[in-house]
Structure 1
Amino acid sequence: MCYEVRARILVPMTSAATTAATRNQARDTTNPLPRRALDWRLRFGALSLVWGFSFLLIKVGTHGYAPFQVTFGRLLFGTVVLAAAMAVKRERLPRGARIWAHLTVAAFLLNALPFSLFAYSELTIPSTLAGICNATSPLWGMALSLVALSEDRPTRVRVAGLGLGFLGVLTVLGAWQGFSGLDARGTAMALLASLSYPIGWIYVRRTLAGTGASHLSLTGAQLLLATLQLAAITSLFTSVPAHFPLLPLLAIAALGTLGTGLALLVQYGLVAEVGPTTAQMVTYFIPVIAAAAGVAILGESLTWSTPVGAVIVLAGAGLTQVRPRENR
């Protein structure tokens, strides 16, 4: 999951072109969006499930393949889905060396780096914890936007949300117990992955906003570049598997086609139909579904501090998105 930095708010998005969704909404209201065959609430629920189960799929994928291989497969399958969508809509890849240079950085910060960090983190931490760490992205985003975005002004409510959110992180990690039983390296990787998203979106806002290219075109190019990056890294640091375990391979295929490719298309459709504010609410369901899937399917243990801390994290993240009334 990625972030669009939009008018004093960090909105969870999924590609370097989500600003196109905002432009689409600003068009003449006399031309309403075509009626969708599937109600947006059902698509919202499906997106929550797909992204929530992504952490379980990562864990299963690492049971048979190296983390870089999991990430490469995820990006490859996702790119195939977007390439098919571009072929159907007769979309072309963006043009211009400048756009491709910025997309290369965006692909690393928004796809290659966080996907790889999550895959490595789940070698040593439960998928439930990885999903909760992912929910800290709005907190990191708000903190970074205060520094990097001059138009973003702090308010008491948002600062309180930031403090509350990181208190929730400490609760999840069991700080009062000295973080005993916690794999520090894996947890740090998951938190760094969640930090990479807002860093990437601040970069995207500064470099790719207003390019005129379509959402699908920029997203397809971004995933293609991330796939090429992982292809190079995977060939350098891993060897070709001697055998291909079926269940982990199916998990990677599902992670790429559903959790990356199709999810991007569904998310953009939601933003265009109901707006980014409503669409971003999917973020608050992901850790709940990730925790439930990890416990029910993988048999991961869950202490009381994990769900309590997760609720605090989500409450804090919600407060960081509150804007002054005059700016709404």
Structure 2
Amino acid sequence: MEEGIVTGGTGSLRSGLRVVVLALLWGSTFLWTEVALRGFSPLQVTFIRCVLGALVLTAVCCATGRGMPRGVTVWRHITVAAFFCNALPFALFGWGQQTVDSGLAGVLNATTPLWSIVLGLALGSERGLRPARAAGLLLGFAGTIVLLAPWQGGGSIGWGALAILGAAVSYALAFTYMGRTLVGKGTPTISLSAAQLIAASGLTAVVMPIGGLESIDPGPVVLGAAVVLAVLCTAITFHLTYRIINDEGATNAAAVGYLLPVVAVLLGAVVLGENPGIRGVVGMVVILVGVGMTRGSGPTAASAAPADDGAVGGAFAAAKPAAGGGIVEVPGTRRATSGNEG
């Protein structure tokens, strides 16, 4: 009996450490983006993030004997997913964070689950919205309005904040599309993720002549921030997320979503000297409570299917990791796949 208790306690500790590490990595995305923007343009940051992330995940695929997806149809779906889940939101976060603090960006990113529900309602895949979920949806958007403070002439509202909200909406679109077209088709999730970043690199390269060819002179700090953003916050987080969902289920992994904005705000305040203010803290709390209410009455991860070949392709049920941070529900689908952070 005592041995079982000790073993269980060790497992809980290990589980908690995984969640904390993943939250720190994802939550720090906005900090590293802010620093990288001091020497690179938004498009350049996006391109570096996609290319280095793709190289890391491709190396993992090669090391584990998993090949790239095959077939024109699959790559067409991957390209669409890469646009909405990687290229577009990464660029929008870069653009938005030129005028928006990293902490506020992290909090606005937490609205992704709310946009997923709105999308589900629009598509008809979200049916029978319970009162608690409806109240959580309204509460979450109320918190967003508190953050933006449109009634104040000098408030946070502006193109930067709207760009970040656009990134959150893009994630919601991507998650629904990926859940319907890419998951459960027999391709390991790690292969899909690597292919998706490869496609995102190509999409970003196409538009680089428009706003990504400015002369640059990044110092070691800026260059290091870009590398950390690409390798740790874009590629390595995939593996940690897979392990958590594979070993403990999507419900435990979902706990990360509630820590991301908190980590983003704390890092912004401690490292960059940002001051979220009372309104920022209140808005963050209201949004998190609203998101919690929408999840509390939703489906659980109890019906998660067994993982395939260790890549957790198909181990996801009713939840998915957000690229820019968090676990969000995917309306109208029982499965979801892995994305990337903003």
For the aligned pair, the TM-score class normalised by the smaller chain equals 0.7 to 0.9
**Separation in 1, partners of 2:15, 2:70:** 33
CA distance in 1, matches of 2:290, 2:184: 31
Report if the CA contact (8 A) 1:109-1:200 is conserved.
Answer: yes
For residues 179 and 128 of structure 1, do their structure 2 counterparts lie closer, same or farther at Cα, with a shift above 3 Å needed? farther
Question: Which residue of structure 1 aligns with residue 24 of structure 2?
Answer: 49
Alignment of 1:145-224 (within 5 A): 145-150=120-125, 152-175=127-150, 177-178=151-152, 180-224=154-198
Distance in 1 of aligned mates of 2:162 and 2:141: 14
- Please list the CA deviations of residues 134-174 of structure 1 after superposition, one character each: whole Å capped at 9, or x if unmatched: 00001111111122243643111100000010111111222
- Does the residue aligned with 1:321 lie in a helix, a strand or coil? helix
CA distance in 1, matches of 2:108, 2:243: 26
TM-score by length of 2: 0.81
Q: Which has the higher contact order (CA 8 A, sep 6+)?
A: 1
State whether residues 39 and 216 of structure 2, in contact with CA within 8 Å, keep that contact through their aligned partners in structure 1. no
TM-score, normalised to structure 1's length? 0.84
Q: Please list the CA deviations of residues 35-75 of structure 1 after superposition, one character each: whole Å capped at 9, or x if unmatched.
A: 99x92321211110011111010000010110100111111
Q: Tell me which amino acid in the other structure corresponds to 2:25.
A: V
Q: 2:97: which partner in 1?
A: 122
What whole-Å deviation, never above 9, does each CA across 1:185-243 have from its counterpart, x for those lacking one? 00000101011111111111222233111111111101110111112222342225343
The CA deviation at 1:261 is 0.4
User: In 1, distance between residues paired with 2:79 and 2:152?
Assistant: 40
Per the alignment, residue 320 of structure 2 pairs with none
Paired residue type of 1:72: F
Structure 1 distance, partners of 2:61, 2:44, is 25
One of 15, 34, 37 as aligned partner of 1:40: 15
Q: Which shows bigger deviation, 107-116 or 299-308?
A: 299-308
5+ long unaligned stretches in structure 1 = 1-34
Query: Which residue in the other structure is 1:108 paired with?
Result: 83
SS at match of 1:39: helix
Q: Distance in 1 between matches of 2:286 and 2:38?
A: 31
Q: Distance in 1 between matches of 2:226 and 2:35?
A: 8
Q: 1:162 to 1:213 in 2, by over 3 A?
A: same
Corresponding position: 1:288 with 2:275: no
| Identical aligned residues as a percent | 36
Asked whether the equivalents of residues 40 and 216 of structure 2 are also in contact (C-alpha less than 8 Å), the reply is no
Q: Aligned letter for 2:89?
A: P
Contact 1:173 1:306 in 2 (8 A): no
| 1:324 to 1:112, Cα distance in 2 relative to 1, 3 A | closer
Equivalent residue, structure 2, for 1:229: 203
| Separation (CA, whole Å) in 1 of partners of 2:280 and 2:134 | 23
Q: Secondary structure at the match of 2:290?
A: helix
1:274 aligns with one of 232, 235, 248:
248
Q: Retained in 1: the 8 A contact 2:37–2:98?
A: yes
Q: Following TM superposition, by how much is the alpha carbon of 1:302 offset from its aligned partner in structure 2, in angstroms?
A: 2.0
User: Does the alignment pair 1:314 with 2:288?
Assistant: yes
Matched with 1:22 is none
Verify the 8 A CA contact 2:85 2:174 in the aligned structure 1: yes
Note the C-alpha offset of 1:265: 1.1
RMSD: 2.1
Q: Structure 2 counterpart of 1:282, which letter? A: V
Deviation at 1:89, TM superposition (A): 0.4
Q: How many equivalent pairs are there?
A: 292
Report the CA distance shift for 1:273/1:327 in structure 2 as closer, same or farther (over 3 A). Answer: closer
Displacement, 1:130? 0.5
1:199 partner amino acid: L
Judge conservation of contact 1:125–1:183 (CA < 8 Å) in 2.
Answer: no
The residue type equivalent to 1:127 in the other structure is S
Separation (CA, whole Å) in 2 of partners of 1:227 and 1:197: 17
